[in-house]
Structure 1
């Protein structure tokens, strides 16, 4: 599954971005399945806006986004649902967990949207690796933000995907837990021959990136 960006720029930030260099905004880019992409971006340069554009949560932009040669603005209804359930998984910066159900239920809701990619026991296996087994049956809203981040990572990995989209997925984790999470993500992407796109503020060595771009 390929992603193409053709001269995209957020309309509310158009004037701001036209005055500064960017590897993403106002450029033509092509990403192939299996590439591991780091997008380095200081605060205020549109990391979350970019994620929301390519996931079709924002429409206020110029340019064209194509998934496998299909223009994103024309993908809707069941086709959009299938794209999000089978091809693109996402870890939002604000996580978007349901606070009043358990961590396990948050993950399970995503696991069963399609013919399950993994059996139920994989939830426990991933939770054990990321050190959150003890909070699986606790309401998500009672978990610390770092715990919630790890639950959101498991939720994203439990579904099928060709691309994993991550918006600052490690912002509240210490180095030890970042290492565990990065290893699990790399393993899952390698297993599926999937690509990922990760936004973050700074340089890092968490992955062997195919490309590093500045937003």
Structure 2
């Protein structure tokens, strides 16, 4: 996939309020290109979670069109969405969606056993770089939210992707770990020539964005 295009997209809940919008995204024609980096800055209540869910196909309660390589996302079958999420778009959810009863390793293997995208050595190297090497066999329920964010980030890298969507990825990380995450992310995206879409209501990954957009 080379482009994601939003054409006059607006969440249904906003259309019901009849409010005017000063947004670079909603009710605009916007094309997000593979290989480029985007920061979506949002205030609370402006639809950040909706934006992420629309791109990932979890929600469809909007007007307008979202196109993948000029094909309407509304025409995709369940099988096509599954393929897209496995091969084209990776997503680091704000709420992480880890399984607390499983270990860090087991959470990551749930994805990597399907994709076979990373070797165990590569995954262990990510753990070491992120400072959580001792959490390999620790249940997620025993970890801090910041540690869980790092696990979810590593899991998001265990698949091929043309775009990676990160929803407030460093909200519970210190600056040092945020810089490490940014460095790993840039390395992985360089290999795949992938685009980056980061959403933030404040603290964000420090990378050189091609575009900074206000939601």
Q: Which runs of 4 or more aligned residues in structure 1 lie more than 3 Å from their structure 2 counterparts after TM superposition?
A: 15-18
1:207 and 2:171 correspond: no
Cα drift, residue 70 of structure 1: 2.0
> CA 1:143 to 1:187, structure 2 compared with 1: closer, same or farther past 3 Å?
same
Contact 2:168 2:198 in 1 (8 A): yes
Cα drift, residue 20 of structure 1: 2.5
* Cα distance in structure 2, aligned partners of 1:205 and 1:62: 30
Counterpart of 1:51 in structure 2 is 52
TM-score, normalising length: structure 2: 0.95
Counterpart of 2:86 in structure 1 is 85
Counterpart of 1:39 in structure 2 is 40
* Cα distance in structure 2, aligned partners of 1:4 and 1:77: 20
1:164 and 2:168 correspond: no
3-state SS, counterpart of residue 8 of structure 2: strand
Counterpart of 2:132 in structure 1 is 132
Listed as ranges, the matches of 1:170-209 within 5 Å are: 170-202=170-202, 206-209=206-209
* Cα distance in structure 2, aligned partners of 1:133 and 1:126: 8
TM-score, normalising length: structure 1: 0.95
Cα drift, residue 159 of structure 1: 1.1
Report the RMSD for the aligned CA atoms in angstroms: 1.4
Cα drift, residue 205 of structure 1: 6.6
3-state SS, counterpart of residue 198 of structure 1: strand
Contact 1:17 1:25 in 2 (8 A): no
Counterpart of 1:155 in structure 2 is 155
How many aligned positions are there?
214
> CA 1:157 to 1:66, structure 2 compared with 1: closer, same or farther past 3 Å?
same
Counterpart of 2:31 in structure 1 is 30
Counterpart of 1:75 in structure 2 is 76
Contact 2:170 2:204 in 1 (8 A): no
Gaps of 5+ in 2: none
* Cα distance in structure 2, aligned partners of 1:43 and 1:159: 30
Listed as ranges, the matches of 1:98-137 within 5 Å are: 98-114=99-115, 116-137=116-137
